[in-house]
Amino acid sequence: MNAAAEDLRPGRRAPLVRLRGISKTYGNVAAVKPLDLEIDSGDFYALLGPSGCGKTTLLRMIGGFTEPTTGTVEIDGIDVTRLGPERRPTNMVFQGYGLFPHMTVRQNIAYGLKVHKVAPSEIRARVDEIIALVRLEPLADRRPDALSGGQAQRVALARALVMRPRVLLLDEPLAALDLQLRKAMQEELRRIHRSIGGTFVFVTHDQGEAMALANRIAVMDAGACVQEGGPEDIYRSPKSRFISTFIGDANVLAGRRRNNRIELEAGAAFDDEGPDEAVIVVIRPEAIALGAAASGSDTLQLAGRLAESVFLGPYVRYRILLDNGAEAIVHSSDLQGRRTLAVDEPVTLSWARDRHSVLPG
């Protein structure tokens, strides 16, 4: 999958990180199948996918911790494929953080600079600067065992950032945090990213996190990159059933195209050009409205019965049993409407044609 041809945005400079034909095979298991990827300077880039999809392996290959079986890694125009992590202009925030328990926060952060023989006065200045950036001042002289999860994470972040890497790599950075903390840390990460204007690449299995943080996402499945692009593009135009259900909720309606017309098993039909084949139509729950819509050739309708409605705060989630037995999920922020609907009541679903995606099924 060639990213370069796909998104040649106007005025785009050469990418900062370029992976070409990169793959990793262990024995006869392909953890990462040959792929190309490009990351621009300033990106907050997400490698998103379920466990085992190869995203961490890919990250480690960018960082130099895993040697690729084939392909090259270029950073800032230089081929770094044969270089170890200590020679690449990257730094990583590891899962589990890897803080040195026998050193204070300050000493942890200063360690990399010490190893690179930076002058003590400069070390002090840079460490202070980064501690201020991640807001760790009161904890600077504590040991890691006296820190909470979120604090430890910030130390790990600071320790990597103080090295001023061209690319910061993060391996599931927020995985160990609880929900509230995770939201707070997401904000922190965005703020820090904006503040230093660096390039961040992170790995996550949480699609909400990917959407919240990244400006570009590469969705991975079974070692291959199945879609790459901005969060909105992926959300609105998923390229496969897997992607549509992995990212956000989705209704997947089965149907068939014949003579340039699609007929859904659930009932509706519309014109759509393309080969005769089985198809699926994907619609996001918030794109569907309950009740008959103003008729027009650009809206579709389905009939069903209400199975369940759950009040979730900002919206209500309705589960509808369609005539053919399939289920549809509808999210509605019309909170009043819920009161007038009873279980088993017949309802009509409608949506605009430009809100759905047709994919080969």
Partner 1 sequence: MPQRPFVLVLFALPATLIFLLFFVGPFAYFAVMSFWSVSAYRLTPGFDLENYIDVFTEYAYPLGFTFAIALAIATVTTTLAFAFAYLARFRAGRWGPILLFVTLITMFGGYLVKIYAWRTILGSTGILNAGLLGLGLIDEPLPWLLYNPGAVVVTLVHFLLPFAVLPIYGSLRGIGDAQLAAARDLGAGPSRSLVDIVLPQCELGIVVAFMLTFFIAAGDYITPRLVGGPSTAMIGNFVESQFITALNAPQSSALAVAILAVCAGTIFVLRTGMRKALAVR
Q: Residue 236 and residue 285: Cα distance in Å, rounded?
A: 12
200 binds partner 1 (CB under 8 A): no
100 binds partner 1 (CB under 8 A): yes
176 binds partner 1 (CB under 8 A): no
318 binds partner 1 (CB under 8 A): no
103 binds partner 1 (CB under 8 A): yes
User: Minimum Å distance from CB 107 to partner 1?
Assistant: 5
Q: In terms of CB distance, is 93 or 349 closer to partner 1?
A: 93
Contacts of 171 (CB under 8 A, 6+ apart): 56, 59, 60, 92, 93, 94, 95, 202, 203
User: Minimum Å distance from CB 230 to partner 1?
Assistant: 29
Stretch that binds partner 1, among 46-54, 111-119, 178-186, 291-299 (CB under 8 A): 111-119
Three-state DSSP class for residue 191: helix
Stretch that binds partner 1, among 11-19, 29-37, 84-92, 284-292 (CB under 8 A): 84-92
Three-state DSSP class for residue 176: coil
Stretch that binds partner 1, among 22-30, 154-162, 198-206, 310-318 (CB under 8 A): 154-162
Stretch that binds partner 1, among 22-30, 49-57, 100-108, 340-348 (CB under 8 A): 100-108
DSSP 8-state code for residue 129: H
- CA-based nearest residue to 8, from 28, 38, 47: 38
- CA-based nearest residue to 114, from 163, 161, 151, 65: 163
- CA-based nearest residue to 108, from 38, 162, 46: 162
Stretch that binds partner 1, among 7-15, 25-33, 82-90, 216-224 (CB under 8 A): 82-90
Kind of pairing between the strands at 356-360 and 277-283: antiparallel
Q: Residue 150 and residue 127: Cα distance in Å, rounded?
A: 19
Out of 4, 6, 21, 98, the only residue in the binding site for partner 1 (CB under 8 A) is 98
Stretch that binds partner 1, among 5-13, 157-165, 271-279, 306-314 (CB under 8 A): 157-165
Q: Residue 171 and residue 55: Cα distance in Å, rounded?
A: 9
CA 143, 146, 148, 149 torsion-angle sign? positive
Q: What pairs with residue 25 in β-bridges?
A: 30
Tallying the residues shown for the chain, one arrives at 361
Stretch that binds partner 1, among 7-15, 108-116, 220-228, 249-257 (CB under 8 A): 108-116
> What is the maximal distance between C-alpha atoms in the chain?
75
In DSSP notation, 307-347 reads EEEEE-SSSEEEEEEETTS-EEEEEE--TGGGGG--TT-EE
Out of 56, 91, 151, 299, the only residue in the binding site for partner 1 (CB under 8 A) is 91
Q: In terms of CB distance, is 105 or 268 closer to partner 1?
A: 105
112 binds partner 1 (CB under 8 A): yes
Q: In terms of CB distance, is 97 or 351 closer to partner 1?
A: 97
Contacts of 151 (CB under 8 A, 6+ apart): 136, 139
Out of 42, 50, 52, 85, the only residue in the binding site for partner 1 (CB under 8 A) is 85
Q: In terms of CB distance, is 3 or 109 closer to partner 1?
A: 109
CA distances from 349 to 293, 319, 320 (A): 8, 11, 9
Out of 45, 65, 202, 351, the only residue in the binding site for partner 1 (CB under 8 A) is 65
- The interface mask with partner 1, positions 114-153, x = CB under 8 A, is -xx-------------------------------------
Contacts of 291 (CB under 8 A, 6+ apart): 347, 348, 350
Out of 42, 69, 76, 111, the only residue in the binding site for partner 1 (CB under 8 A) is 111
270 binds partner 1 (CB under 8 A): no
Out of 97, 200, 202, 351, the only residue in the binding site for partner 1 (CB under 8 A) is 97
Kindly list the residues in this chain that would bind partner 1 in the complex (CB under 8 A). Answer: 63, 65, 84-86, 90-92, 94-103, 107, 111-112, 115-116, 156, 159-160, 163
